Homo-oligomer: A and B are copies of this chain.
Amino acid sequence: MFSHLTKRSFLTKSMRFFSSKLERLSFEKLSQSDISYFSSILQPHEIITDPKELDQFNTDWKKNYKGNSSLLLRPNSTEKISKIMKHCYNRNLAVVPQGGNTGLVGGSTPIFDEVILSTSNLKKVYGFNPYNSVLTCEAGCVLEDLNNMLSKEGYEIPLDLGAKGSCQIGGNISTHAGGIHFIKHGPFRGNLLGLEVVLPNGEILNLESEVRKDNTGLDLKQLFIGSEGTLGIVTKANIHCVKKDNYHRVLLLRCQSYEQVLKINELTRRVVGKNLSAIEFFDDHAYWSVINHIPGVTPPFEVGKDFENFYVLVELAGSQPLESLEETYFDALSEADLANECVLCENEGQALNLWKIREQIATASNHMGSFLIYDFSVDITQWMDLVKDVRTRTTGKGFTVSYGHIGDGNLHVNIVYTDPKLKDELVSILEPATFDWLHKKRGSISAEHGIGFMKANFLNYAKPDNVIQILKDIKRVFDPKGILNPYKVLPNSVAPTDYRALGIEDSKGSA
């Protein structure tokens, strides 16, 4: 796949990106009078200056990125955020917005000494309206807390992420990660009816709405969804929630070629239709790693010896009993003779066991050593070309597992390694080689994790130059001084550098 370019040429190209040190842009330095001003508008517990306490907010949760901020502010109202931003804008102080700090691409931690503006005290829930299914809440609400509240009403937020226990809804909106039930809910932006946003200059933008259809010109709030806090700070949201399903059924299929996986996916989507709640893929390397490294998982199938199997996990869900659908579906599967083996869950415990295999793949990678994790989108017919190539190129250095949301084309690849010194070499082998390949195949270098700091200088593998130019123009409309989340998402105007030189330790996490 990468045969047209030798490894050497990629290393050379890659080196270009890591050749010079990133320089701090010419923002002002925080002064005592700034702290005094913030103290005049905030309560003491809304201000953190203690370096030890700041440490966790300066560091991303996978411990890949570490900034050096000396101030975190966590105001409990939009008005306070507005005052803070107005002050920072006038003073030319850089600011990084931070939610639950669960991101994987260094988007929510400072690069240098940016003021950290946390939304974690924006906790107000304004309520749920059963007539229009709209939940209104502030940005700092934790996704799982909101869902627990909605569950009593029989509803859920149309978003389900692994980080749900700590990620905040404002961060969910700003990063727009998709998660496991994307195939059921579609993109989160389709259910975001309104936002309140504070602009870099402190202006409050009222884009709130509880109506589902509003065709009054271009939909400005779309710009704040997925722009990773570079255009404004989301402070409040109106979310269209959905009815929870009453019936679920989980099954795991095993087959011996990826061709069969593709056919199972096509058949399942066609036959199950809107009752398809999730359809997930993993390879035998992933299965092997979970069965061997995660305690308490009952293997539904014997572990093979030559990594020759492929797995598809299917979850059906609906408002009514699923027996008749299951019958139709199983008949179709059987007639097509696609799966060699199939396990159908008879109870919730069995379903959880199957889901555990899929959901613990990253944890298993972590138990085996350190690992690089990628989130690509590309036509699913191309998945194994990419995986095989990554596996070949990293042979002897890393152990590659592949898995992902096959229903929506989102492939995850982990490359596990045990010698920390191998990290740089593996990164050099894969970046930007895989990004370049994805670009040529019209895929995405980030299906859900975002660009953040990690991939800002690789944005040219995601968008044409004239699109990037317009993104810069739009950034200037909202943030002419560039104070909000600098060094992120857009390629830096200054010479890019090795982000791993900025105090970054070895990548050992549990993504």
CB proximity to B under 8 Å, residues A440-481: 442-451, 455, 459, 462-464, 466-467, 470-471, 473-474, 477-478
Q: How far is the CB of A144 from chain B (nearest CB, A)?
A: 21
Contact A459 B130 (CB under 8 A): no
Residue of B nearest to A155 (CB): B270
> Which of A200-208, A334-342, A348-356 forms contacts with chain B?
A200-208
Which residue on B lies nearest to A405, using beta carbons?
Answer: B213
Please tell me which one of the listed residues B205, B274, B464 contacts residue A466 in the complex, with CB atoms under 8 A apart.
B205
Within the complex, the shortest CB–CB distance from A6 to chain B, in Å, comes to 27
A213→B243 contact, CB < 8 A: no
Q: Is A379 engaged at the interface, CB distance under 8 Å to the other chain?
A: yes
Determine the distance from Cα of A102 to Cα of B97 in the docked complex, in whole angstroms.
44
Q: Which residues of B sit under 8 angstroms from A320, Cβ to Cβ?
A: 275, 322, 324-325, 328
Residue of B nearest to A223 (CB): B218
Q: Name A297-321 residues within 8 Å CB distance of B.
A: 318-321
Interface residues of A in 7-43 (CB under 8 A from B): none
Consensus secondary structure, chain A interface: loop
Q: How far, in angstroms, from A471 to B218 measured CA to CA in the complex?
A: 8
What is the 8 Å Cβ interface bit string for chain A, positions 192-226, against chain B (1 contact, 0 not)? 00000000000101111111111111111011011
Residue of B nearest to A222 (CB): B222
- B467 adjacent to A477 (CB under 8 Å): no
Q: How far is the CB of A106 from chain B (nearest CB, A)?
A: 14
The answer to whether A444 and B209 touch across the interface, beta carbons within 8 angstroms, is yes
Query: Does A331 have its Cβ within 8 Å of any Cβ on chain B?
Result: no
Contact of A182 with B270 in the complex, beta carbons under 8 Å: no
**Inter-subunit contact A459/B216 (CB<8 Å):** yes
Q: B222 to A223, Cβ gap below 8 A?
A: yes
Bound complex: CA A179 to CA B56 (Å)? 49
Interface flag for A273 (CB, 8 Å): yes
Determine if A245 is an interface residue (Cβ-Cβ < 8 Å): yes
A218 to chain B, nearest CB (A): 4
Instruction: Tell whether, in the assembled complex, residue A274 and residue B217 are in contact, meaning their CB atoms are under 8 Å apart.
Output: no
- For A211, list chain B residues within 8 Å (CB): 377-379, 409, 442-444, 447
How many identical chains are in the complex? 2
Cβ-based interface call for A166 (8 A): no
Across the interface, A467 reaches (CB within 8 A) one of B207, B269, B443, B463, namely B207
User: A187 interface residue, CB < 8 Å from B?
Assistant: yes
Complex alpha-carbon distance, A208 and B447, angstroms: 15
Is A243's CB under 8 angstroms from B216's CB? Answer: no
Given A209-B442, A408-B212, A448-B213, are A226 and B231 neighbors across the interface (CB < 8 Å)? no
Segment from A86-94, A119-127, A170-178, A364-372 that makes contact with B: A170-178
Q: Tell whether A380 is near chain B: CB-to-CB under 8 Å.
A: yes
Q: Does any Cβ of B come within 8 Å of A265's Cβ? A: yes
Q: Please tell me if the beta carbons of B274 and A130 are within 8 angstroms of each other in the complex.
A: no
Tell me the smallest distance from the CB of A196 to a CB of chain B, in Å: 11
A154 to B191, CA, bound (A): 26
Q: Answer yes or no: A189 CB below 8 A from chain B CBs.
A: yes
Q: Least Cβ distance of A161 to chain B in Å?
A: 13
Judge whether A216 and B446 touch: CB under 8 Å.
yes
Do B473 and A381 touch across chains, with their CB atoms under 8 A apart? no
Counting chain B CB atoms within 10 Å of each CB, the highest count among A176, A187, A245, A477 belongs to A187
Given the interface pairs A222-B223, A442-B208, the reply to whether A471 lies near B217 with Cβ below 8 Å is yes
Q: Which of B133, B262, B450, B471 contacts A131 (CB 8 A)?
A: B262
Q: Taking the complex as formed, is A410 at the interface, i.e. its CB lies under 8 A from any CB of chain B?
A: yes
User: With A319-B325, A470-B220 as given contacts, are A215 and B447 in contact (CB-CB < 8 Å)?
Assistant: yes
For the complex, give the distance between the alpha carbons of A450 and B187 in Å.
23
Please indicate the chain B residues that have their CB under 8 angstroms from the CB of A318 in the complex.
Answer: 273-275, 318
Identify 11 residue pairs between A and B in the complex whose beta-carbon atoms are under 8 Å apart, listed by A's number.
Answer: A178-B212, A214-B444, A214-B446, A215-B226, A215-B451, A216-B445, A216-B463, A220-B467, A220-B471, A220-B474, A242-B274
The 3 closest A-B pairs by CB, nearest first: A190-B190, A273-B319, A211-B377
Known: A215-B447, A218-B231, A320-B324. 4 other contacts (CB 8 A): A176-B215, A187-B190, A474-B474, A474-B477
